[in-house]
Structure 1
Amino acid sequence: MQARLLRSFSFRLAFTYMALFGTSVLLLLWFIYWSTAAYMSRQADATIAAEITGLAERYDMDGLAGLINVINKRLSRKPTGSSIYLLTTAINTPIAGNLNRWPETQADNDGWLNFQLENASLGKNNIHLARARSFTLSGDFHLLVGRDIYELEETQRRIIRALILGFIITLVLGGGGGFVLSHRVIKRLESINITSREIINGDLSRRIPLHHSDDEFDTLASNLNLMLDRIEELMDDVRRVSDNIAHDLRTPLARLRNRLELLRSEQEKAGQDPALAEQAISEADGLLKTFTALLRIARIETRRRKDAFTETDMEALLHDVVELYEPLAEEKGLSLSLQIDSNVHIQGDRDLLFQAMANLLDNAIKYTPAQGRIEIRLNHQRISIADSGPGIPENERQQVFQRFYRLEKSRTTPGSGLGLSLVEAVAKIHGMSLSLEDNHPGLQVNCEFPQDPSITPMPASNHT
């Protein structure tokens, strides 16, 4: 279920939305960081520049002694503060300030220096980064004013951590929201799929459940239900027409056959040859069989409920089919064998399953030449009926399930081309799948059981 959810379109859509939203949030957080950190750095630089201006003016008014006095007063007011002062001679000999030497870092074009602060007088054991600006006073004195930017960097790091945490929370909430949304969408779609599969299996009375939320899914479900109502109505009309045809045409055909029987009897009494009457009776029987097969297929395909389904013993069913066709196989000189690897019980209509197996065995006997062999095998997965006849070309194996379709080499053989169509209709209503394959020589028909039949393992047995 989880793998299916990850492959679903709704999850991919939610993930795409989450990715776009996450990217937008990331850009927004980056802008917040950039504007905040840059503002704090600009404020620190502006403060340093203002201090340099003030100290330079003090030097101009009070001279060197006045400047030293101001620096000492500022340091004495806050000895462990973040302010950095250093006044040196032309050869960088310290005169006043809280640095014991001039930084070795080269200043940029604007006089700014970034260096490591190692002055123990600040009362801090950790090495901090500092940012300062140098200024040359008259008399070739050098003034350095700066700030310990440890707190600034720590604040920036906290902002970065907060932004990263916020981004992770956004991804987690977005992913969780996408998962929940996808699960809800899949649940709604699965209800449609379940109903669709039940309709495909023949239950046209099924309808897609509504949640009465008036959303797009309810609109879709309502439209599909209206369509299904219309389809069911049309199928009812077809069924009524079929019943009417059965009532209106089968009776005249039966009367025609009875009159042909009377004609044959009269001809026999009069000493005339009844061959033409017998041919007409045979043609009428063929028409009745074809008509009956068509109606049976239509009724199977339009069956709504599976009320006639009961637990069916497939071993007993196959034994009955083999017993019915044994005389015909012996008459043609065929070897007919039944092998049971494991018994299978499925929920199904026994009469329909019997008819389907009988049609397959009848075809095998019909097309297998004399002295050939037919093998029927039952196991927990399938029923297979294999013969040594001419087989069916691979490019025609799907077409033989169409109504009235017959191979060119089989057109001279009696039949209507409806046998495999009926078998396919029975297989569909039971959830079985049909496949045809080579038997080298001949044809093998496989009827695969549904996923969950009731299986009773038993020792292998053979009936020949």
Structure 2
Amino acid sequence: MVLGIPSVTALTRILSTTAFKLAAIYLTSFTALSVFLFIFISQNTDDLMNKQVVQTVDAEIQGLAEQYAQNGINGLVVGVERRVRSPNSNLYLILDYSGNVITGNIAYLPEKVLSVSDGRIQFVSYTPLGFVETDQNKAKAIVRIFELPGNFKLLVGRDLEDQVHLKSLLGDALTLWLVGMVVLAGITWFFLNRRILKRIDNLSMSSRLIMEGDLAGRLDVTGNGDEFDRLASNLNVMLDRIEELMKGLKEVSDNIAHDLKTPLTRMRGRVEAALRQDLSENEGRECLEETLVETDELINTFNALLRIARVEAGSTGAELQSIKLGNIVKDVCELYEPVAEDDGVEFSVSLEDEPVIEGDRELLAQALANLIENALKYGRPTEENVKPTIKVVLSGNDEQAILSIEDNGAGIAAADRERVCNRFVRLDSSRHAPGSGLGLSLIKAVVTLHHGELQLTSAGTADDSESDKQSGLRARIVLPLNKGQRGEGEGNEAWDKARKKNATS
């Protein structure tokens, strides 16, 4: 019993594999279908051939009946003898009133068959003329037996050897087919077990290593382009994203530790100085107010970090609905026009299109407000005699909505445009103004949530080909239109077909 345990375990593993189950289902299904088709074809073939045999027998009976009507029993005997001498599958037998054979090509027929002489169709076993009566020499036939005047009996029938042979061929074909199914099922099991399940095991092993902490590990892609390659590719993209988020988390932690240390140290120093000195009531109030301002700035920084994390994780509860982007632009710009005017900034808004997108109104308004605030704070011209300007332009094409915010300030060098969207990144030219370096990070997260793209280019050229000559910054939010406006709905397709048909007619 102990020696048999490994074999039993191996057999159990084989029987429990998906490959064996699929092969068994495949074999069972095709076997059942094959048997059904065999029975269906066999029965219908038998019915068709039996009808043809009966028609042949009836034609022979009609011919013999005419001879009997013209020449009596003697003419009938002559006609049967002439037909017997012709080699074919037809059967004939004439018996006298005593049951003696007058003529025919049947050596033996059971008595109970001869007793039924009303002309009905009978399926019988008989022994052909010239053969000994044995089970091996028996054959199948369809016959009709008629009783004639004078107690004579006439049998007319046809041998069914062709049908029996056809059934035998169908049976052999079914056997070969079933054997082929078994072989094919075995090949299928071998292929699934050796190829597909092996790849699944490799994926499981790689996944286990990744779960153990090896975030740099990736699933193998063979390059065949099959389902497993597509699955592995998608999982690798997901792992890249997870690794990127983990790196981002580490960077955020480092940035928080670095960038928040200075204001916290400054607050601690101010409080310690206040404790060491004998401050008046006004001086103490002023110290508390300054501390409160820096505390609010820290709280705002943490709120911004939390909001960015929620947007990136998609846990803001945002519901993407069909909205007109132009309405958001109008509402936000109306709020900032007085602010720009007070700061001496020339503020202009141009709505060249009315795109409809799938988005969250609050998040998009927050992103646009952040871009306008950045333009107001950092988009000041370097020349003193140049008036600062901010241009907000909403346009679009057949596939996208494009929201552009442009200023005539110092701009951002091409080498810094990707880095400036990271958390807590502040360029040297912007450190004179208050801020936390989280505005563009939040904007990028909102745009990514809407399946869009944030583009930072130079405002001086249309294609950003002269990025070294800074003449302002152009921030573009590119968002996809909803399906209806892109013309992907069923109504649009029907209308396009109608227009094409009308154009060709």
TM-score, reference length from structure 2 = 0.43
TM-score, reference length from structure 1 = 0.46
Higher relative contact order (CA 8 A, sep 6+): 1
